[in-house]
Amino acid sequence: MADERPELTTAPLDAEAVRGAVVVGVVPDQNPRVVKEAAKYAAMMKAPLVVAHVDVTRFVTYEDPDGYVHSAPIDVNIAPGEADLDLVHASVAHALEGIDLDWRIHQLVGDPALALKHLAEQIDARLLVVGTRKRGIGESIREFFTGSVAARLAHRQARPILVVPLGEPAPDDEDLWPTS
C-alpha cells in the first residue's frame, strides 16, 4: 500500500485483518516523526499499522455487537471532527509515501486514552505509539487536569507504549508545571 491512500470509512475496523497491529494515535498538524517511528516498528514486527484519530468532539452512545460505534456530537457542528480526519489522512499518507507498509486509518470518538486502549484490546495490538504535546502553558494546564494520554495509557492497559518526544526536550531544571 505504499503508493495508495487507504479510503476513509466509517465502517467498523476488521479486527482480524489487523490483529497484532501497531497502533499509532495521530492528531492534526502532528509532527510526522510519530507516524514514521510507528511505521518503523510495524515494519520490524511485520505487522500492519493502524492510524487512529480520536474525535474528542463526539462521544460514544453505544456499540453494536458487530463493533459499529454509535456516537453523538458534543456540539451540533460535527464538521471540525471530519475536517481533522481529512487532515490526519493527508499528513499520514505524505509521511508514509514510498514506504511499503500495510496501513489503514480509523477514527475513534471520546476520550483519547480510553479509545486507544479499547482499539488496542479489540485488535490485540502489539504496540501503542503516541507523541508528546508541544510545551506551553495551555498544554500544561490541560495535562494537569486530564493527564497525558501516554501516562493514562501506561496505567490503564498492559501493552507496551512508545512515546515519541517532539520538539526540544525541556531542560532538567525547567519547571514543567509553571506556577505563574
Record the cell numbers describing residue 161, joined without a space. 507504549
The reply to whether 63 falls in a domain is yes
C-alpha distances in angstroms, 84 versus 20, 53, 140? 26, 8, 23
pTM (2 decimals)?
Answer: 0.75
Write the CATH number for 133. 3.40.50.620
Q: What is the pLDDT of residue 61?
A: 55
Give residue for cell 510526522.
32
Q: What is the pLDDT of residue 129?
A: 96
Q: What is the pLDDT of residue 65?
A: 62
C-alpha distances in angstroms, 62 versus 11, 16, 54, 71, 84? 15, 22, 16, 7, 23
Q: Is 117 helix (H, G, I), strand (E, B) or coil?
A: helix
Domain of 52, in residue numbers: 24-164
The pLDDT profile of the chain, 180 residues, written as one tens digit per residue, is 444 445 444 456 788 889 999 999 998 888 999 999 999 999 999 999 999 998 877 665 545 565 555 444 545 445 555 688 889 999 999 999 999 999 999 988 888 888 899 999 999 999 999 988 665 544 544 444 445 788 888 888 889 999 998 766 667 777 765 555
Give the β-pairing of 161-164 and 127-131: parallel
8 Å CB contact between 49 and 39: yes
The reply to whether 7 falls in a domain is no
The reply to whether 126 falls in a domain is yes
Residues 6+ apart with CB under 8 A from 175: none
What total of structural domains would you count in the chain?
1
Q: What is the pLDDT of residue 176?
A: 63
Q: What is the pLDDT of residue 70?
A: 47
Q: Where does residue 174 fall: left (phi above 0), alpha (psi -120 to 50 degrees), or beta otherwise?
A: beta
Please, which residues bridge with residue 81 across strands?
none
Phi, psi of 4 (to 5 degrees): -110, 145
Distance CA 21, CA 87 (A): 22
The reply to whether 117 falls in a domain is yes
Distance CA 159, CA 179 (A): 34
The reply to whether 108 falls in a domain is yes
Beta-carbon neighbour count of residue 157 at 10 Å?
Answer: 18
